[in-house]
Amino acid sequence: MSKEKSAFVGSMEPGDHFLVVYESLNERDLLAVVFLETALKRKDFIVFFLEGNDRIIRHLEKKNSGALERSKKRGTFLTVNPDRAFGRPPNLSSFGSYYRELVRESQKRSLRLSLVGEFPIKFFNEHEARKTIERFINGDTSNHRPAFLCMVRKDNLFSLDPANMLVLVESHDSTLLRGMPINKSNGHHVA
């Protein structure tokens, strides 16, 4: 994992919605650990839904066992099967219901919400799905905007309609693609 990718994920603040395109499962796991370490330090309400949760937990336990255990005891560190977050087959109504539930729970606890997960790329090929996703993440359901790290394996981008690649990038505050950050605010675009 490059220092640039680690710094990109480590720079996330509450309210940021970033996308990372990763090369391998090992890289994805290490980037998730960077995000989770930052959220643990802030004592956020943390939810992650990635296949291979156990590997990520083992990485995290090696570095932050005390903070992780305290968060688990408080019930503020949740590992969720992606099927629970998105339904089977994946659909936005399942995610929307679950997301609103998480927002309510974090507000009830007066904690910031931090989420990391692999979003089904198929949603970005559906116009209504993209609009719905943006409403969820940008606070349509509340004034509470979480730190949300979306992760997509590079190989999965091939199933994305090329016309929707720019939509994928623009639906995030910042995207890390091939080691280059693309921010909505700085005017860089995918070439």
For the chain, list the domains and their CATH numbers. Answer: 3-183 (3.40.50.300)
**Beta-bridge mates of residue 183:** 174
Give the model confidence (pLDDT) of 31-61 as tens digits: 999 999 999 999 999 998 888 778 888 888 8
Instruction: Determine the average pLDDT of the residues in 156-184.
Output: 79
Residue 138 has pLDDT above 90, yes or no: no
Q: Which residues contact 101 (CB under 8 A, 6 or more apart)?
A: none
Which region, left, alpha or beta, applies to residue 90 given φ > 0 means left and ψ of -120 to 50 means alpha? beta
Q: Which residues contact 132 (CB under 8 A, 6 or more apart)?
A: 92, 96
- What is the rounded CA–CA span in Å between residue 145 and residue 81? 22
The model's pTM: 0.84
Instruction: Determine the average pLDDT of the residues in 68-79.
Output: 89
Share the mean pLDDT of the chain.
80
State the DSSP H helix or E strand holding residue 151, giving kind and residue range, or none if neither. Answer: strand 147-153
What's the pLDDT band for 95 if we cut at 50, 70, 90? confident
Q: What per-residue confidence (pLDDT) applies to 187?
A: 46
Which residue blocks in 109-147 are alpha helix, DSSP H?
127-137
Residue 114 has pLDDT above 90, yes or no: yes
2-6, 71-75, 149-153: least confidently modelled range: 2-6
Give the model confidence (pLDDT) of 117-129 as tens digits: 887 777 766 666 6
